[in-house]
Structure 1
């Protein structure tokens, strides 16, 4: 068994290296070109339609959630511990220049995120309970006519979420035990009950929770980070100079930092940018398919909104905290996950910083698990119907407690392999259905964008 687990580890290590980066990055580049670099050309308009519409009331279109609720539900599964831990790890192994490449790949990845959300909305349908459901399994099935591949995707994601829920729960329980000396079983039970109450309210309750929780936890983290950044305000110019300079030139060792070449900066930056916002991974469209929206492209803009919030804002803020405080040269690579806590400790004190990070992790894990359980349910529903999806809901909720106490660790070993089985079919579908995404995008900009331009140019005429 040990040899088998070691073999699985080697296989997943290879898959999640260059092959997966090339697949996701290459897919993003292809879609960016096919869509005419629209995420750059119309970026101000896209931000106006998302950030500018957060407080607006939804239209009367059919759907279960408002566009913002759908976006925050999708964000809940991407904004997490990786934003606090993953960025310092990228800096530790790739140097400050890795952040530049993180920005580049995130901008490119917007096309993939947009495309999967658009297709998720286009091919959504109502289930027996009258709720809108969608995602890669539907556009692979209905768009490509490849039902066996759609079933493969759904089954792989359904099982992957069992492992993912356990890992998330164990991470939280371990952190809480270290910070507050609370037994993992207690943490697991309390979190299981709390999440159970939320998920049994369905997507409507999940949307109501995430639209409040996500802005709150992101806001608190950003405010705290800004305080740390401004306490090191004199370092901000040099931070951005380092990011740009070492994206193209090697950096030598300094303190606990072992040094890094340009290749390492590119590799770690690309990996962080690709994995942080889940562009092309196929999970976001499951949440976005529930939105009350009258055009798929409009909801696709909220997918771009996610990339901006998750990577360009939160991950960048984390990077500035780590680089500006100097903790990236004080902490060895093996302890990179503590860099943010150490940086906060310089301003707020080690005790308060540790408590805050534990509470942040709690909120991040809570929001993530709530949403991925919904994702898993929808896979079970697609495969076996709504009754079986309720059974899987019980399985997922129970997995929270099992994972917290460290049970069934063998399943954890398959997490990355199962995730690869999810990503490959989704990216393949995005590439093959690119023409449909392009037509929908052109339709939006011809019907809505140009119309608004004419209205703004001739306000008096339109008023008459």
Structure 2
């Protein structure tokens, strides 16, 4: 598994983690924002009117209403990215990462408007009578690039697991285990059965379920978040100032947080922003293709609301909870994941300014970092290291009160061999205090409000609803891609594998799942961005034709 993880990290470094990717993603959004004269601002009010049903007609072709298409697409985007992803971005890049999530969402509103409009324009009715759409259809029917359409559809199937299935199941199971103590396999199995019951009903059942779940989960999560925000109201102003002030300078060291460079915060903020709202990924157009309308642009209007709701509202609320509560820079007791911990040569103290500078350069990948991985023995007696010459870093922070045990119960005594920063023995559990990230960080933050420890239950319930609805929506994206590739008969085998993957991910390694999702997102995004750029002139013409009809 460690070899697979290292491969995925290397691949992500060449794709989503590469310096060029954020510029490509934001560049396409910026181009269309200027080219279409800021549609996310000009069309914002009209989009809400479309969602409320003002322009609905039962005679229009399609399978579901504008509102249900929106909630289905939102259920695909509002998931672990809003709870775990925001926490992960702040953990990596500090407050500055939230600013770049905002920038990604603002420009992403236009990108989603474009991709949904074009995909809806070239949707088709399948042999089973349902509508099918998505970027693969405009690539095939308009660009005459069937090879690109096939590549995108394959990437969609992969991404349905890497984005909508595996990380969602993993996030639910880990949160439920931490809060209620339930075995992840049991959680995954029960939810896997429920998932199967929903997705076997197709788009009609999926849309009906998400139309009820999405508003409910938003209300539950909002109540818990506001309880923290109002309890820490005096810190909201400084939190906003840190987000904006650090945006173009990077985030300085604070508490256990060792700081993040501007480049790192920018890259991780954009990357997590895409994971959260999926603008440019080409996933939402598949859900919106089912909407009842003769006007592709009207469905594009609906879709531009998604990044606003998902990132600018929900992710901001999560970010303010984490920043105002101060938990992002505190060390918390936790069991160290092997992929998160790293032994380095030399002894360093995060309360020493010179050591902080060295550690900052090391964890942010700054050239010329003086710190090297540790290779050698670590002598341990009754769970405590008694030899020196090394520092254990976990979750990008200096670990404290470190304990070594066998299976988490029996204190370890003996020699632990370290090779290139990693323990050779994999059966030794290492725990202690360090920074934490993902759902664990958000869960701790929710306990710092008026609800106290009860706040962690709100995160668990919210995460379960968010992530489960995302898994439902992405099963639909995957089965539409399978319909394009191999026809309707391939859908049922796909759904069976999808449910099996959901159960498996509930007890798999967290970091491995996130690494897979990072790669899958980019593999799907790049062909879609290329395709919509090729049709930029047609997009403007389609929008102008729509307004000429509306204004009559």
Please identify, of 414-423 and 314-323, the stretch whose mean Cα deviation from structure 2 is larger.
Answer: 414-423
Aligned pair in 2 of structure 1 residues 250, 363: CA closer, same or farther (>3 Å)?
Answer: closer
Q: 1:202/1:6 Cα in 2 relative to 1: closer, same or farther (>3 Å)?
A: same
Tell me which residue corresponds to 1:20.
Answer: 21
1:169 aligns with 2:169: yes
After superposition, the CA RMSD in angstroms is 2.6
Shift, 1:410, TM fit: 9.0
Q: Say whether residues 1:431 and 2:533 are aligned partners.
A: yes
In structure 2, what is the Cα distance between the partners aligned to 1:410 and 1:252?
Answer: 28
Deviation string, structure 1 residues 94-126 (Cα, Å, up to 9, x no partner): 332332232222111111111111012100111
Task: Give the stretch that moved more between structures: 395-404 or 275-284.
Answer: 395-404
1:32 aligns with 2:133: no
Separation of aligned partners in 2, 1:362 and 1:58: 35
Per-residue deviation at 1:193? 1.2
With over 3 angstroms needed to count, the CA separation of the structure-2 counterparts of 1:433 and 1:147, relative to structure 1, is same
Contact 2:221–2:458 (8 Å) recurs in 1? no
Higher relative contact order (CA 8 A, sep 6+): 1
Q: Alignment partner for residue 463 of structure 2, among 350, 361, 374? A: 361
The residue that corresponds to 1:326 in the other structure is: 326
Deviation of 1:265 (Å): 3.7
State the Cα distance separating 1:176 from its structure 2 match.
2.2
1:81, CA displacement in angstroms?
1.4
Task: Describe the shift of the 1:436–1:176 C-alpha distance in structure 2 as closer, same or farther (beyond 3 A).
Answer: same
Deviations 1:271-299 (A, max 9, x none): 33333200010110000000012311111
Per the alignment, residue 298 of structure 2 pairs with 298
The residue correspondences of 1:184-263 to structure 2 (distance < 5 A) are 184-263=184-263
Match of 2:59 in 1: 60
Q: Distance in 2 between matches of 1:262 and 1:118?
A: 34
The 1:31/1:376 distance shift into structure 2, 3 A limit, reads same
Deviation of 1:128 after TM superposition, in Å, equals 0.8
Deviates more, 1:138-147 or 1:17-26: 17-26
Q: Deviations over 1:281-318 (max 9, x none)?
A: 01100000000123111111121111111001001111
| Stretches of structure 2 lacking an aligned partner (at least 5 in a row) | 332-394, 397-434
* Cα distance change of structure 1 residues 256 and 428 upon mapping to structure 2, 3 Å threshold: same
1:336 aligned residue (420, 437, 441):
437
Instruction: Provide Cα deviations, 1:328-368, integer angstroms capped at 9, x if missing partner.
Output: 33347641333332222122455422222222221122101
Q: Does the residue aligned with 1:306 lie in a helix, a strand or coil?
A: helix
Which has the larger share of helix? 1
Bigger strand fraction: 2
State the SS of the aligned residue for 2:304: helix
Partner of 1:455: none
The residue number in structure 2 matching 1:315 is 315
User: How far does residue 264 in structure 1 lie from its aligned partner after superposition?
Assistant: 3.7
Q: 1:401 to 1:250 in 2, by over 3 A?
A: closer
Query: 289-298 or 418-427: which moved more?
Result: 418-427
| Number of aligned positions between the proteins | 447
Note if contact 2:89-2:268 (Cα within 8 Å) is conserved in structure 1: yes
CA distance in 2, matches of 1:55, 1:194: 34
- The CA deviation at 1:200 is 1.0
How far off its partner does 1:175 sit? 2.8
Q: Which residue is equivalent to 1:268?
A: 268
- Name the counterpart of 1:282: 282
Distance 1:58 1:188, change over 3 A: farther
